[in-house]
Amino acid sequence: PAVDAKILIVGCGISGIGAAQRLIQHGFSNVRIIEATSRSGGRIKTGRLGSNIVEVGANWIHGPSQENPVFQLACHYQLLSKESMSEENQSADIGGHPPFVPNWFSSSGRKLDPDVMGPAVELFMTLFEKCQEFHASGEEPMPTVGEFLKREALRIAHEEWEEDQATKDLKLALLSTMLKLECCVSGTHTMDDVGLGAFGMYKTLPGLDCTFPGGYDGLIKHMMNELPADIVLYNKPVKCVHWNNTYKQSSSKGRTYPVTVECVNGETFEADHVIVTIPLGYLKKHQDTLLHPPLPLHKLHSIQRMGFGTNNKIFLEFEKPFWSEDCEVIYLVWDDEPDLVDVVSDVKTAWIKKLFGFTVLKPMERFGHVLCGWIAGHESEYMETLTEFEVLQAVTQLIRRFTGNPTIAPKKLLRSQWFHEPYTYGSYTYVAKGCSGYDIDNLAEPLPLPGSNSQPLQVMFAGEATHRSFFSTVHGALITGWREADRLHTHYTTLSGQMISKL
Ligand code: 6YU
């Protein structure tokens, strides 16, 4: 390979770090990462709630088993518990939905009966799995996941449920809660925005989802330690990537480079190749100015079509638990929602109704009594505009109402604000209504397009949004970084092969 090729990576999230690591392994020595913020890790962001380590961004290794490169690295760096690494955990195939032990509370302040609620959850899961099958079968009975789930759930409830109306309504209200949960999983405002036919493109890997006891950022630290110390230029937001020799620099001496990266502060960096790992949320916002010449139309359209939504967390610490000892997830069921809704009618007054419930941070010996509330969509984006105190008040009121206990008061709160992160603009990618795998391929396609006479692979694209089946995950992002590094390696190996054969 031409080890002196000058390569710039924009963004120091896991995909950018992965790309740098792989390029260096391939023998490229002229590699730099340009990062807008003062830290590496991007959407992997470990924070603190008092003395507790909490994940503001990515939470789990989804599908921790041998095929998952994040799991492999985490094992290599010894960052996981023995239990997470056990054969038993690796072989558990749970289709992306960990079997959490639930507690259900209703808005009238009652704890709900698991025997009554359980079958409603099972129905939801069965329908949800059905949604994932349409991709392979090629049919799409409805345009979106939300519409399909609602139609089928209401039909089955009407035809098969035999309880009294009040119990039926409560079970349907639980399905509204489940829809709100799926909004968090998919990172969307409503499941009515998620395309049904493409939904099954997302692939789950075997393994019981696990966390990093010392924080997800331990993975970032270990990976960064293996890179040259000065590889990252921090606090340098990139304004524009000029390609095809369109940036004329008076100071250019010696050889010329096809690409110039221009930062917001006016600094410029020249390169043979640039790997852009910027999140889709940022690309959507700056799609017209981030590249010069601008992105080709089909790429722009795919950026517009793909979905990128917000999912936020609200961590709360309590003196003592109001949930049962074995409880792993708390569902909040609104009595007045039997019509399967996953959006609120008035965001300003009712945003809190979008919070589906809480996961319990375990083990208790380490965390004490800490819950993580989950909220997606426009309601979540509105929550970000409120003060921490206002959020605390709203959540306290909510918990008091659902438990019927007017004295419960969280001790501490920490929430994420991913929509207001200027270099992310949301949480992660979903396949919106009308999207297909081709949109993801378009996003990942390097510039210039095939058939052009100019120098190939000037601008390349990595990041979670560019992986067909693992979008929205850390392992997906990592694989795309490696993919682009390998693409350059293959390019130069082929080139040198051609030169040798000419000699
Ligand atoms: C996972 C999980 N997880 C929760 C929440 C969030 C995410 N994910 P990065 O953004 O990291 O890096 C880009 C860098 O570029 C960044 O540093 C920027 O500052 C920089 N940059 C931007 N603009 C720039 C500019 N102009 N100039 C210079 N630099 C610039 N993933 O595996 N497990 O539990 C979760 C979760 C709240 C926000 C997650 C999870 C997603 C991952 O965090 C994310 O994909 C990667 O970190 C992205 O890395 P990257 O390098 O691409 O970008 C069936 C079905 C449905 C499908 N959905 C399945 C559900 C699975 C998703 N679950 C997620 C859930 C949680 C809870």
Q: What is the pLDDT of residues 186-211, one digit of tens each?
A: 999 999 999 999 999 999 999 999 99
Task: Give yes or no for residue 212 CB within 6 A of ligand 1.
Answer: no
Ligand 1 centroid to residue 70 C-alpha, Å: 14
All structural domains of the chain: 7-44+213-306+425-480 (3.50.50.60)
User: Residue ranges of the alpha helices (H) in 86-113?
Assistant: 87-91
249 falls in which pLDDT band (50, 70, 90)? Answer: low
Least confident of 273-277, 364-368, 398-402: 364-368
Q: What is the pLDDT of residue 404?
A: 97
**Burial class for 479, CB neighbours closer than 10 Å (0-12, 13-18, 19+):** buried
Q: What is the pLDDT of residue 302?
A: 98
Contacts of 220 by beta carbon, 8 Å cutoff, 6+ apart: 14, 17, 40, 41, 44
Nearest atom of ligand 1 to the alpha carbon of 37? 19
Residue 406 confidence (pLDDT) above 70: yes
Q: Is the dihedral of CA 422, 428, 429, 430 positive or negative?
A: negative
Residue 252 confidence (pLDDT) above 60: no
Distance CA 361, CA 371 (A): 6
ipTM of the complex: 0.97
Nearest atom of ligand 1 to the alpha carbon of 430? 57
Ligand 1 centroid to residue 111 C-alpha, Å: 35
Nearest atom of ligand 1 to the alpha carbon of 60? 34
The H-or-E segment that residue 361 falls in is none
Residue with structure tokens 């059905």?
130
Residue whose CB lies within 8 A of the most ligand 1 atoms, among 280, 473, 479, 483, for a mutation test: 473
Residue 396 confidence (pLDDT) above 70: yes
Nearest atom of ligand 1 to the alpha carbon of 96? 54
Task: Give yes or no for residue 480 CB within 6 A of ligand 1.
Answer: no
3 falls in which pLDDT band (50, 70, 90)? Answer: confident
Mean confidence (pLDDT) of the chain? 95
Query: Which of these, 179, 142, 38, 58, lies nearest to 470 by C-alpha position?
Result: 58
CA-based angle 462:466:467, to the nearest 5? 115
Contact 122, 134 (CB under 8 A): no
- Cis omega before residue 422 (within 30°)? no
Angle at which helices 14-25 and 474-502 pack, to 10 degrees? 30
**Ligand 1 atom 6, closest CA:** 57
Distance CA 147, CA 143 (A): 7
184 falls in which pLDDT band (50, 70, 90)? Answer: very high
Q: What is the pLDDT of residue 248?
A: 75
Buried b (16+ CB within 10 A) or exposed e, 253-279: eeeebbbbbbbeeeeebbbbbbbbbbb
Extract the tokens encoding 131.
């949604």
Rounded to the nearest 5 percent, the helix, strand and coil shares of the chain are 40, 20, 40
Ligand 1 centroid to residue 279 C-alpha, Å: 8
Angle at which helices 297-305 and 437-444 pack, to 10 degrees? 130
Query: Which of these, 168, 134, 136, 159, lies nearest to 148 by C-alpha position?
Result: 134
For residue 348, the tally of other CB atoms under 10 A from its CB is 10
Give me the count of residues in the chain.
503
Ligand 1 centroid to residue 44 C-alpha, Å: 7
476 falls in which pLDDT band (50, 70, 90)? Answer: very high
Residue 497 confidence (pLDDT) above 80: no
The percentage of residues in the chain with a pLDDT greater than 70, rounded to a whole number, is 98
Task: Give yes or no for residue 181 CB within 6 A of ligand 1.
Answer: no
Ligand 1 centroid to residue 424 C-alpha, Å: 8
Residue 276 confidence (pLDDT) above 70: yes
Question: Which DSSP string do the residues of 416-470 spell out, in sequence order?
Answer: --GGG-TTTSSSEEE-BTT--HHHHHHHH--BSPTT-SSPS-SEEE-SGGG-TTT
Residue with structure tokens 């020249």?
270
Extract the tokens encoding 63.
């599908």
Residue 96 confidence (pLDDT) above 80: no
Q: What is the pLDDT of residue 140?
A: 92
2 falls in which pLDDT band (50, 70, 90)? Answer: low
Q: What is the pLDDT of residue 56?
A: 98
Question: What CA dihedral angle connects 4, 273, 22 and 71, to 10 degrees?
Answer: 170
Contact 332, 354 (CB under 8 A): no
**Ligand 1 atom 35, closest CA:** 58
Q: What is the pLDDT of residue 10?
A: 99
DSSP letter (8 states) at residue 219: H
Distance CA 54, CA 47 (A): 5
Buried b (16+ CB within 10 A) or exposed e, 149-159: bbebbeeebee
In DSSP terms, 103 is beta-bridged to 330
Q: What is the pLDDT of residue 254?
A: 73
Contact 431, 145 (CB under 8 A): no
Distance CA 300, CA 446 (A): 13
Contact 227, 20 (CB under 8 A): yes
Q: What is the pLDDT of residue 207?
A: 95
Residue 99 confidence (pLDDT) above 80: no
Task: Give yes or no for residue 418 CB within 6 A of ligand 1.
Answer: yes
Ligand 1 centroid to residue 14 C-alpha, Å: 9
Least confident of 16-30, 80-94, 188-202, 372-386: 80-94
Contacts of 165 by beta carbon, 8 Å cutoff, 6+ apart: none
- For β-strands 291-292 and 357-360, DSSP reports them as unpaired
Residue 180 confidence (pLDDT) above 70: yes
Task: Give yes or no for residue 62 CB within 6 A of ligand 1.
Answer: yes
Q: What is the pLDDT of residues 293-333, one digit of tens each?
A: 999 999 999 999 999 999 999 999 999 999 999 999 999 99
Buried b (16+ CB within 10 A) or exposed e, 225-243: eebeeebbeeebbbbbbbb
Task: Give yes or no for residue 351 CB within 6 A of ligand 1.
Answer: no
- Cis omega before residue 446 (within 30°)? no
Contacts of 225 by beta carbon, 8 Å cutoff, 6+ apart: none
Least confident of 291-295, 330-334, 364-368, 432-436: 364-368
Distance CA 288, CA 274 (A): 18
112 falls in which pLDDT band (50, 70, 90)? Answer: very high
Nearest atom of ligand 1 to the alpha carbon of 40? 17
Task: Give yes or no for residue 13 CB within 6 A of ligand 1.
Answer: yes
**Ligand 1 atom 39, closest CA:** 58
Query: Which of these, 21, 58, 24, lies nearest to 41 by C-alpha position?
Result: 58
